[in-house]
Amino acid sequence: MTWQLSKLLTAAARGGFPPADGSVTVLPQPSPRDIGVASFTCHAVVFADVEPAWVHERIAPGDLAGPLSPPFLTALGERVGREANNIDMTTVAEALPGPPPLELVETTDRSHPRITRALRHRDEVRAWTTADGGTLVIGRGVAGRWELAVEVDAGGQGRGLGRRLARAARHLLPAGELLWAQVAPGNARSVRGILGAGFVPVGAEVLMVPYGGRG
């Protein structure tokens, strides 16, 4: 059932959002790993192997905050045997032509914390580093979409490296592909960097992860 959520996410990324009618759509989870809630303008999508009636019993009609509220996320976690990870802002950008305008060195070292975390949540993970302390990771995440993660060492922060890494990532995808980036709203530096790299907000999202697997 990956295609159902993939189709919805791709449409939203290209401006075809679900109807802003205050409703909640329930879709099967696209894989054994991916369970969560995606929120758009006045519409939410729960992707989990739960009965729609169970969801609608716990979210009152028109309750726009309900799908991402602590009570519902706690109930969903108990239902599926997981816990809620961060509530992130979801952003997306299209691939860019040509080579990345940044010197990147691909690495197969899987000990870097950012890479280790990506391997828990994504498939087909690839990673690159820069000489000045940047790490860029791309992999297939929710419903097979391409997802980005960026890490900048403390000594390299404050100089726009995160933004340049995020923009460089857009050059690493085939033409016509979309690249997603999830960002914690409170991380203002990362939010500014992602937006500066040409990503646009799509909504919000929380993934349900195995207990002890947050982050």
For 176, which DSSP code? T
pLDDT at 35 over 70: yes
- pLDDT one-digit tens code per residue, 169-187: 999 999 999 999 999 999 9
Nearest Cα to 60, choosing from 45, 72, 48, 74?
72
- pLDDT one-digit tens code per residue, 141-179: 999 999 999 988 877 677 889 999 999 999 999 999 999
| Region at 42 (left for phi over 0; alpha for psi -120 to 50; beta for the rest) | left
In the chain the first and final C-alpha atoms are separated, in Å, by 26
pTM of the full predicted structure?
0.92
**pLDDT band at residue 211 under the 50/70/90 scheme:** confident
Q: Are strands 23-27 and 43-47 parallel, antiparallel or unpaired?
A: parallel
The encoded tokens of residue 167 equal: 């923009």
Could you give the 3-state DSSP secondary structure of residue 188? helix
Distance of CA 30 to the CA centre of its chain: 14
- pLDDT one-digit tens code per residue, 65-85: 999 999 999 999 999 999 999
Q: In what side-by-side order are the strands of the sheet with 83-94?
A: 23-27, 43-47, 36-40, 200-209, 83-94, 178-183, 146-152, 134-140, 123-129, 105-107
For 175, which DSSP code? T
In percent, the amount of the chain with pLDDT more than 90 equals 82
